[in-house]
Amino acid sequence: MSPKRRNQATGSGPAKRTKVSTDDGDESEDESGLPSSSVLRLYDQDKVYRLLEPGPVVLVTTSLNGVHNVMTMGFHMVVQHSEPALVAGIIGPWDHSYKALSKTKECVICIPGADLAQKVVDIGNCKGDEVDKFDKFGLTAVRAGEVGAPLIEECLASIECRVHDKAMERKYHMWIFEAIGAWVNEEREEKRTMHHKGIGNFALDGEEIDLRDRMLLWKEYQDD
Ligand X SMILES: Cc1cc2nc3c(=O)[nH]c(=O)nc-3n(C[C@H](O)[C@H](O)[C@H](O)COP(=O)(O)O)c2cc1C
Residues that bind ligand X (CB under 6 A): 57, 69, 71-75, 90-92, 94-97, 121, 124-128, 196
Q: How far is the CB of 88 from ligand X (least distance, A)?
A: 11
Beta bridge partners, 27, equal 21
Q: How far is the CB of 201 from ligand X (least distance, A)?
A: 10
Q: Which residue is nearest to ligand X (CB)?
A: 124
Residue with Cβ nearer ligand X (29 or 98): 98
Dihedral of CA atoms 57, 58, 60, 61 in degrees, nearest 10, equals 140
Beta bridge partners, 40, equal none
Q: Are 177 and 162 in contact (CB under 8 A)?
A: yes
Residue with Cβ nearer ligand X (7 or 72): 72
Helices (H) then strands (E): counts for the chain: 5, 13
Q: How far is the CB of 165 from ligand X (least distance, A)?
A: 18
Residue with Cβ nearer ligand X (15 or 175): 175
Using alpha carbons, list the distances in angstroms from residue 74 to 26, 106, 128: 42, 18, 18
Q: Is the omega angle on the peptide bond into residue 56 within 30 degrees of 0, that is, cis?
A: no
Which amino acid appears at position 51 of this protein? L
Q: How far is the CB of 2 from ligand X (least distance, A)?
A: 35
Q: Where are the alpha helices (DSSP H) in 17-107?
A: 49-52, 97-104
Q: Are 98 and 92 in contact (CB under 8 A)?
A: yes
Q: How far is the CB of 81 from ligand X (least distance, A)?
A: 22
Residue with Cβ nearer ligand X (14 or 92): 92
Residue with Cβ nearer ligand X (42 or 107): 107
